[in-house]
């Protein structure tokens, strides 16, 4: 079962930490908690999320159809 936006943001340390990782505003990140994290932002966060979750959440599971295109080294 995929993680929702709230769980992903919490795993990464909360809205302030995610905003700093992406160099965007905290309110922008907070808005994602009511919907989805934009695809391009999730791609940027994926490796950090994989590390923060100690591999429980992987880039392969986040992007099962196209992880090979984004991260060819994973195959």
Domain count of the fold of the chain: 1
Residue 15: CB partners within 8 Å, gap ≥ 6? Answer: 9, 26, 29, 30, 33
pLDDT tens, position by position, 24-64: 999 999 999 889 999 999 999 999 999 999 989 999 999 99
- What is the Cα–Cα distance from 66 to 50, expressed in whole angstroms? 16
Per-residue pLDDT at 19 exceeds 70: yes
Per-residue pLDDT at 2 exceeds 80: no
Per-residue pLDDT at 1 exceeds 60: no
Q: Which domain holds residue 60?
A: 5-74
> What's the pTM value of the predicted model, to 2 decimals?
0.87
Q: What is the CATH number of the domain that holds 33?
A: 1.10.260
pLDDT for res 58: 93
């Amino acid at each position: 079962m995929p993680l929702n936006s709230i769980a992903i943001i919490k795993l990464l340390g909360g809205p302030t930490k995610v905003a700093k990782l992406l160099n965007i505003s905290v309110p922008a990140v907070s808005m994602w908690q009511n919907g989805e994290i934009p695809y391009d932002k999730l791609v940027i966060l994926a490796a950090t999320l994989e590390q923060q979750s100690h591999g429980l959440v992987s880039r392969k599971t986040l992007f099962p159809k196209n992880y090979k295109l984004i991260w060819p080294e994973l195959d």
